[in-house]
Structure 1
Amino acid sequence: MNKKIIPRRTFIKSSALLGAVSVFGTGCMNVSNSKAEKTGEGNRKGPNMVFVFPDQMRRHAMGFMKQDPVITPVLDDFSKESIVFTHATSTHPLCSPYRGSLFTGLYPHQSGLTTNCHSTRKDVYLRREAITLTDILAKNGYDVGYIGKWHLKTPDEGKGYKGPWIPREDRHGINFWYSWSDKHQNNFNPSYWKNDAQQHELIVPGRIWSAIHETDVAVDYIHNRNHEYRDDNNPFVLFVSWNPPHDPYTKDDVPEKYYDQYGDATSRELLNRDNVIYSKKTERAAKHARGYFASVTGIDDQFGRILQALRAANLEENTLVVFTSDHGEMLGSHELMTKNQFYEESFGIPMLMRWKGNLIPRMDDLLIGTPDLMPTLLSLLGLENGIPDNIPGKDLSKAVLNKKDAHRPEIARYYNASNNARGLRTHDMTCFFERNNNKSNDFLFNLKEDPYQMNNLAEEMPHVLKEFGIETRDWLNSVKDDFSNYKKERSYLNTIPT
């Protein structure tokens, strides 16, 4: 077995840029924004961006990756024109924490979004005073549109996870607003608030798959006929946040035309990963695999409609297109379902970027995590001077642009305040420390020799575990994370082996 690891001094060099941060009592990091204040309206001719992120789509669920037996002809073709980031990760693979990091460049304990927004979790929401990606875009002359699931505000009392109405002052510079009210993941009976509609003024489009309807709106936004959606004199950024392929995955939750494309495929043919062990625990995955992949195929089809709209509107050359997801889906691997796990099926996400004439299409193993997206995207759009000071997210635009002097991280962080684990991923290995309910589990996997993470080497290779433990503890100290869960019940920092 190859026991070579990256020396700790390399890790320390990689993490030295993080620096110390200060945190408000509300849980929102105090970020100096001196550079952002200087940018003003100076980027009105910048490129556009369309950022598409379906919910719960794993990296393996793209046909060109040759892993899941999924039908994605649009993404297969798009990948030939794009950078495919083969090692992109969701730092905290859960909806609200991901979105908090995407928009702020912060870790969950800094953004205040340490778990999913829920009516019983009053302190879990995106702070009004937070400096976000969309705030900076708006400040610099961009029209900003948002379509679909928001999932960054505490729902009303007794509403559970139901999407709440968002007042304009909490929309962070977004000037076209089309927010899904999230009726308990009901993909065929969606309802929406548009722009300044009051809480009772919902748009109910009837029985239509939510992703199809939201794509209808996105296509209209791109074409912008009659100047209804944005100012044609301004560059624009459009976020499209589809709920599918989020569960439920029954036949009734996805259009029949996508479901039927999988013919008579059996669950064993669909769940082809070596770490799917058939047992009582995986019955749900076996039952719903076809629905999940059918939803992915539906998303692929809708993404094609967005690309076609850009083409028809002659916007392809000046538009950065990003396709990614907030986290993956276990789908029976390791006898688990859904997300919020450190395994690759949950932690690993699709990420493709296309900007014709500016980005060289390729497969790229850049270790890019969620907090890195905000500064990287701003820099790609020419707004590097607007990146807030002291955020832990790193500007990786030089690596994206394939420049020789680019910083390429040697680790990606894993942060989970819900299941309470912390850890890291290198190109070759993953290491995680899970602490919850008086349980103490350490995990170490060699991804080169064990890509399905079935052989835990923590006891066999204690020296490697210790090296990663020291690095993880140094990182947690640098960002003032005491390694506790979102309820702050106790700190586990001193339990990491060092």
Structure 2
Amino acid sequence: MTGSNVLFIMSDEHSRKIAGCYGDPLVRTPHLDRLAAQGALFESAYCNCPICVPSRASFATGRHVHQIGCWDNAFPYHGEPPSWGHALSRAGCRCDSIGKLHYRGSNDPNGFDNEILPMHVLNGTGDVQGMLRRPPPKRPSTQQLAGDAGEGDSTYIAYDRSIRDAAVDWLREAAASPPDRPWCLFVSFVCPHFPLVAPPEWFRLYPLDKVPLPRLREPGDFPDHPVLKALRSVQDYDDHFRDEEHVRIAVAAYYGMVSFLDDNIGRIVAALDEAGLGENTLVVYGSDHGDNLGTRTFWGKSNMYEESAGVPLVMRGPGVAPGRRVRTPVSLLDAYPTILQAMGEPVDADLPGASLLEIAEGRDPDRTVLAEYHAVASITGVFMVRFGRYKYVHYEGYRPQLFDLDADPGETRDLALEPASAAILAEGERRLQAICDPGEVNARAFADQARRIAELGGEEAVRKAGNYPYTPAPGEAARISR
């Protein structure tokens, strides 16, 4: 057999800051830490949009959000443009998914031979109210994040257990009847996405007196920026916490969910190795975006700070030297060429990403990574480029931000406000313009959303549709707020 198998494991809303291998001293993630030690860890990995549906569509197609028009959670992937799954299918390779996809639905040609326990957007339409951005409406469902926080069980916990068990069974069956070509298995969990509910055995790993409060929560810490202020006024999760203890409960639950996720990953990788498949399988772990987890009083995602746009990304397998830490910026776009290269298949030359296997060996250290956001609570398009030590954030029609992540990893000093940084600021804008015209992209996103709103009966009809805190797990009813 030419090429390696690929086991790609994805989680939902896992900030790379909350993992032992990325330096968190409290969280227990022994299985992710072991994967990182056995292979490569990417220190500067990003999603391409800090919200689920666009991020996953970009990951699937290997293309930027503005290239595919999956602007927000009401523009789900529906099989076009072709994904890496389609490329593998054309090559005769088996490609299955288990768990969350967040596409339009399983009746679309999504690129998988089998969608096992799939989770797609609600009713095939998704969060339509998120398209209302001028101005964005309040979202009563935000109060449920704080209201749910604590120990217990949830439909997401149960769903992840079923995904884990199905993946273990799939790997055992693959070992028993090996194909003559490499296979790809995409396993996609929902944790640690809220509801912030952790099973007792995982929640209790984190006593409240040991759990850190989020950073930058004083009034003077919040960035003086109109776009971020508008985002915070709509995504007012933090306003619904009673006190500091309540905040610590939420953080402990998130930590517990990360440890629960880690345990599920460990069981799957153990099943792979026990089945004798480990030596010829590239294992990759990443998340669709991060979580602010109370930093700057933001929860969830939706901005370009490291907590939200940064993701963990580790890989182990053939051709990957152990113990390698890679500083070169990467993103989920790079998964497409990585999977194809690992499996011995040709990679489309027009894809904007590059293989993580080659980047880990030193390819293109000066590359630029782009993330963009056109979704819920954003009054304009937001674009982030990471290059070298710098992060440049462009808010179309508003002033930018600039951070030196080596000197200021907490992103507390906005260099865009300092005249001495003019040259670096200009370099960030130049790199963004080399990828896309943010003004054109912003106008196109608003135009596409306006057309979709009209198709759904107009703005008032979209308002009446309500909103919900998260996509329900299969079999769960949505918690609609109006």
Report TM bin, short chain. 0.7 to 0.9
Q: Does 1:486 align with 2:445?
A: yes
Question: How far has the Cα of 1:139 moved from its partner?
Answer: 1.8
Q: C-alpha distance in 1, partners of 2:175/2:370?
A: 45
> Which stretch of the first structure deviates more once superposed, 67-76 or 293-302?
67-76
Q: 1:277 to 1:68 in 2, by over 3 A?
A: farther
Q: Does 1:305 align with 2:267?
A: yes
Q: C-alpha distance in 2, partners of 1:343/1:357?
A: 32
Match of 1:15 in 2: none
Aligned with residue 254 of structure 1, among 167, 192, 198: 198
Query: Structure 2-normalised TM-score?
Result: 0.75
Contact 2:175 2:275 in 1 (8 A): no
Question: SS of 2:262's equivalent?
Answer: helix
Contact 2:86 2:112 in 1 (8 A): yes
- Residue pairs, 1:88-487, within 5 angstroms: 88-117=45-74, 124-153=75-104, 165-167=105-107, 169-180=108-119, 188-189=154-155, 209-224=158-173, 232-249=179-196, 253-265=197-209, 269-271=211-213, 274-277=215-218, 281=239, 283=241, 285-356=247-318, 358-383=320-345, 385=346, 387-400=347-360, 402=361, 406-418=363-375, 419=378, 420-435=381-396, 440-460=398-418, 461-477=421-437, 481-484=440-443, 486-487=445-446
Q: What RMSD in Å do the two structures reach over aligned CA positions?
A: 2.9
Q: Runs of 5+ in structure 1 lacking a partner?
A: 1-43, 118-123, 154-164, 191-207, 491-498
Question: How far has the Cα of 1:382 moved from its partner?
Answer: 1.6
Q: Does 1:86 align with 2:43?
A: yes
Q: C-alpha distance in 2, partners of 1:488/1:395?
A: 34
Contact 1:103 1:374 in 2 (8 A): yes
Question: SS of 1:382's equivalent?
Answer: coil
Question: How far has the Cα of 1:393 moved from its partner?
Answer: 2.3
Question: SS of 1:483's equivalent?
Answer: helix
Q: C-alpha distance in 2, partners of 1:52/1:225?
A: 17
Q: C-alpha distance in 2, partners of 1:226/1:482?
A: 46
Contact 1:219 1:306 in 2 (8 A): yes
Q: C-alpha distance in 2, partners of 1:343/1:180?
A: 28
Question: SS of 1:262's equivalent?
Answer: coil
> Which stretch of the first structure deviates more once superposed, 73-82 or 124-133?
124-133
Larger RCO of the pair (alpha carbons < 8 Å, separation 6+)? 2
Q: 1:464 to 1:189 in 2, by over 3 A?
A: closer
Q: C-alpha distance in 2, partners of 1:318/1:80?
A: 18
Counterpart residue identity of residue 186, structure 2: F
> Which stretch of the first structure deviates more once superposed, 257-266 or 316-325?
257-266
Counterpart residue identity of residue 333, structure 1: T
Q: C-alpha distance in 1, partners of 2:174/2:357?
A: 33
Q: C-alpha distance in 2, partners of 1:396/1:136?
A: 18
Q: 1:260 to 1:369 in 2, by over 3 A?
A: same
Query: Once the two structures are superposed, what CA deviation does each residue of 1:412-469 show, in whole Å capped at 9, x if it has no partner?
Result: 212122232113112311111123xxx6131111212211111112121334323322
Question: How far has the Cα of 1:231 moved from its partner?
Answer: 5.8
Counterpart residue identity of residue 64, structure 2: Y
Match of 2:16 in 1: 59
Counterpart residue identity of residue 210, structure 1: Y
Q: 1:52 to 1:265 in 2, by over 3 A?
A: farther
Q: C-alpha distance in 1, partners of 2:209/2:31?
A: 21
Question: How far has the Cα of 1:242 moved from its partner?
Answer: 0.5
Q: C-alpha distance in 2, partners of 1:398/1:226?
A: 28
Q: C-alpha distance in 2, partners of 1:271/1:81?
A: 32
Identity %: 26
Query: Structure 1-normalised TM-score?
Result: 0.73
Q: C-alpha distance in 2, partners of 1:140/1:398?
A: 22
Query: Once the two structures are superposed, what CA deviation does each residue of 1:238-267 show, in whole Å capped at 9, x if it has no partner?
Result: 111111100110xxx32111111113435x
Question: SS of 1:240's equivalent?
Answer: strand
Higher share of residues assigned helix: 2
Question: SS of 1:391's equivalent?
Answer: coil
Q: 1:49 to 1:396 in 2, by over 3 A?
A: closer
Q: Runs of 5+ in structure 2 lacking a partner?
A: 127-144, 222-237, 450-482
Counterpart residue identity of residue 248, structure 1: P
